[in-house]
Amino acid sequence: MSTVSPMDAREALASSASTLLGERLPAGWWQGELSTSALSTATAVMALQLATESDEFADQHQSYQQLITGGIQWLVDHQNKDGGWGDTVLSVSNISTSMLVLAVFHRTGQQAVHEKAVTTCQQYVDAAGGVDAVIKRYGKDHTFSVPILTHCALAGIVDWKRVIPLPFELSCVPARFYAAVRMPVVSYALPALIAIGQVIFHKRGHWNPLVRWIRRGAIKRSLKVLESIQPENGGFLEATPLTSFVCMSLLGCGYRNSPVIHRCLQFIEASVRPDGSWPIDTSLTTWVTTLSVNALAGDAHNTTTMGIRDYLSEQDAEHIRGWLLKQQYKDVHPYTNSPPGGWSWIDQPGGVPDSDDTPGAMLAVMNLRAPQDSFRPEEVESLNSAATWLLNLQNRDGGWPTFCRGWGTLPFDRSSNDLTAHVMRALVMWQARVADVPDSLSTRAEIALNRGFRYLQIHQAEDGSWLPLWFGNQFNTNDENPLYGTAKVLLALKECGHRQTEAATRACDWLIEQQNSDGSWSARQGLTGSVEETGLAVEALAGFDGQAVTAAVAGGVRWLSDRVQHGTHTEPSPIGFYFAKLWYFEKLYPIIFCVAGLRRALQSKETGG
């Protein structure tokens, strides 16, 4: 690999930043593009197939059939060599997606037409362990294993007796008691609990007469709950899989005239891509916009640059900031009953406010103002409201969950390291930048930050790393990505006054140990490096003292610069987790993380850090 001079690194930053700025929509912000998905495509096709079997949708049969044919052909064209399918076109095969696809071939009657694809898929599923492997993959969390098996049971390839019943009657409990009743699915899966729970009950009943009586009585009430939480565009969480699972389950119950089904089908039809496939979600518009802004701004505490003004004019910054402020939730969210103040990942009605997008938006709103500028009253109100929202979300263990405080013990409802770190960064900058913070709120924030730091100390692994929630690496043990988690926490420690702590030192040492000989990083040393993971490591390490850190950052910068010069810094890796072990990649991630790493490294070099 060629040696790159500091000038080359600056040119690489200028080039990658230009690429990122060129990805903006005409409106001024970013939308990105989520990976297309075999899993999404399979579930969408199944929902559409069940709709074509109903006279209720006779007028749409032809258009639905065209979508089914296109989806099946896309699946055939993207089968892996081992006979299975992964969640993305860059993913290795897994039992869940492969069984979903196999089920679609059976329900649509395409076994003979695509005999080779079906035969090799069946061989893969048998070798992987079939139903038992699906159940083992998700363990006690029924959020995804039950929908998968329901999908397969609707196709006739899994016996309904193998599908674990879901207590959909719990959805009739007032929302404030959801945490108390210990839901068997995570908070975002309430629509699946209702719809899938009902079709399982419809197909197999229940051995207990009392349970049968309770569930019969809960059918209409739970359907009303489902209808009340469905977004106006029909897409639950803007996600094709969740929306499709709901749709196929209600169709399986025979509720053909349900308005929920009609809206689901409208969303599915509107979400298909020109090649016949479906993405995992509509987009991550708000999330990638805040990531982009914060990457371009770099270190907000560095006074040697103009921050975001190095890349965006005041007019452009004002436009993005105004758009972001409009995305903040001003009312109680009908889905999670979340109070006003948060942000979701998207500017569409199916989004739900969470503790990763909210701190990201807070940081972006602040970064879009030059360090010496004061905030307008509406911006102060927005930031104070967001800070309050986050403080109210903190769990008793000191960490932050994704959507709901204290909902349950399943992974996506527990506190997590990466979210806690992100929230801490936002609260610290908010305290430093916003003058009009009530004393009582500032005091609450100080206490919360101390508790957050203790949470991170307790959950640091013996080797110095932290595991994240929403990101992974398909080639690492248990699909884990300690590189992402450690980089995000270390960045927070650096910005929150914990640079000199033992926790930060151990994290630095771990990151340095994981660097590959070519200067790149992956989830662990020895795995092929990616632009995303290398950018994250460089961003986190830049500014720490010591020869080993300096050498590691320099190696990472050289590797990233080489990727930019060869035009490969735009090639994504499937490191994103969506829901329960559902992989995705995002077109903008490598560009954003490359910019963030190079920006921080060069800022640090200019200040002697």
CA atoms of 245 and 380, how far apart (whole Å)? 41
Domain boundaries, the chain: 6-34+283-606, 37-279
Which pLDDT does position 6 carry in this prediction?
Answer: 46
Residue 388 has pLDDT above 60, yes or no: yes
Q: What is the rounded average pLDDT of the residues 295-314?
A: 84
Which residue type does 313 have? S
Which pLDDT does position 179 carry in this prediction?
Answer: 56
CA atoms of 480 and 475, how far apart (whole Å)? 9
Of 408, 367, 575, the residue nearest 488 (C-alpha): 575
Q: What is the 3-state secondary structure (H, E, C) of 251-304?
A: HHHCCCCCHHHHHHHHHHHHHCCCCCCEECCCCCHHHHHHHHHHHHHCCCCCCC
The model's pTM is 0.94
Give pLDDT tens digits for 573-604.
Answer: 999 877 657 889 999 999 999 999 999 999 98
Q: What is the 3-state secondary structure (H, E, C) of 504-536?
A: HHHHHHHHHHHCCCCCCCCCCCCCCCCHHHHHH
Residue 194 has pLDDT above 90, yes or no: yes
H-run or E-run covering 56? none
The CATH number given to 37-279 is 1.50.10.20
Which pLDDT does position 4 carry in this prediction?
Answer: 42
Q: What is the rounded average pLDDT of the residues 312-337?
A: 93
Which pLDDT does position 186 carry in this prediction?
Answer: 56
pLDDT band at 2 (very low <50, low <70, confident <90, very high): very low
Residue 346 has pLDDT above 50, yes or no: yes
Q: What is the rounded average pLDDT of the residues 119-140?
A: 93
pLDDT band at 606 (very low <50, low <70, confident <90, very high): low
pLDDT band at 182 (very low <50, low <70, confident <90, very high): low
Between strands 278-279 and 36-37, the pairing is antiparallel
CA atoms of 76 and 176, how far apart (whole Å)? 46
CA atoms of 299 and 428, how far apart (whole Å)? 13
Asked if 532 and 575 count as a contact pair (C-beta separation under 8 A), the reply is yes
Of 426, 400, 424, the residue nearest 413 (C-alpha): 400
Q: What is the rounded average pLDDT of the residues 232-243?
A: 95
Q: What is the rounded average pLDDT of the residues 236-263?
A: 95
Q: Which residues contact 451 (CB under 8 A, 6 or more apart)?
A: 394, 398
Q: Which two tokens stand for residue 321?
A: 């900031």
CA atoms of 141 and 186, how far apart (whole Å)? 8
Residue 257: Cβ-neighbour burial (10 angstroms; 0-12, 13-18, 19+): exposed
pLDDT band at 1 (very low <50, low <70, confident <90, very high): very low
Which residue type does 295 have? A
Which pLDDT does position 411 carry in this prediction?
Answer: 64
Residue 235 has pLDDT above 90, yes or no: yes
Q: Which two tokens stand for residue 97?
A: 């997606």
Give pLDDT tens digits for 489-524.
Answer: 999 999 999 999 999 999 999 999 999 999 999 999
Which pLDDT does position 323 carry in this prediction?
Answer: 98
Q: Report the number of secondary-structure helices (H) and strands (E) in the chain.
A: 22, 4
Of 586, 482, 480, the residue nearest 531 (C-alpha): 586
- Higher pLDDT: 35 or 405? It is 35
Which pLDDT does position 174 carry in this prediction?
Answer: 72
Of 540, 525, 523, 531, the residue nearest 577 (C-alpha): 523
CA atoms of 400 and 332, how far apart (whole Å)? 19
CA atoms of 88 and 156, how far apart (whole Å)? 25
pLDDT band at 333 (very low <50, low <70, confident <90, very high): confident
CA atoms of 353 and 432, how far apart (whole Å)? 24
For 576, other C-beta atoms within 10 Å of its C-beta total: 24
Of 432, 486, 399, the residue nearest 299 (C-alpha): 432
pLDDT band at 150 (very low <50, low <70, confident <90, very high): very high
The CATH number given to 6-34+283-606 is 1.50.10.20
Give pLDDT tens digits for 424-453.
Answer: 999 999 999 998 899 999 999 999 999 999
CA atoms of 337 and 334, how far apart (whole Å)? 5
Give pLDDT tens digits for 535-546.
Answer: 999 999 999 999
Residue 181 has pLDDT above 70, yes or no: no
Dihedral over Cα of 66, 67, 68, 69: its sign: positive
Beta strands (DSSP E) in 144-291 are: 278-279
CA atoms of 63 and 57, how far apart (whole Å)? 10
Q: What is the rounded average pLDDT of the residues 197-225?
A: 94
Tell me the pLDDT of the chain averaged across its residues.
92
CA atoms of 116 and 122, how far apart (whole Å)? 10
pLDDT band at 462 (very low <50, low <70, confident <90, very high): very high
Which pLDDT does position 412 carry in this prediction?
Answer: 65
Which pLDDT does position 178 carry in this prediction?
Answer: 56
Which pLDDT does position 105 carry in this prediction?
Answer: 97
Percent of the chain with pLDDT over 70: 94
Half-sphere exposure of 558 (CA within 13 A, CB side): 16
CA atoms of 253 and 607, how far apart (whole Å)? 65
6-34+283-606 against 37-279: fold identical: yes
Percent of the chain with pLDDT over 90: 82
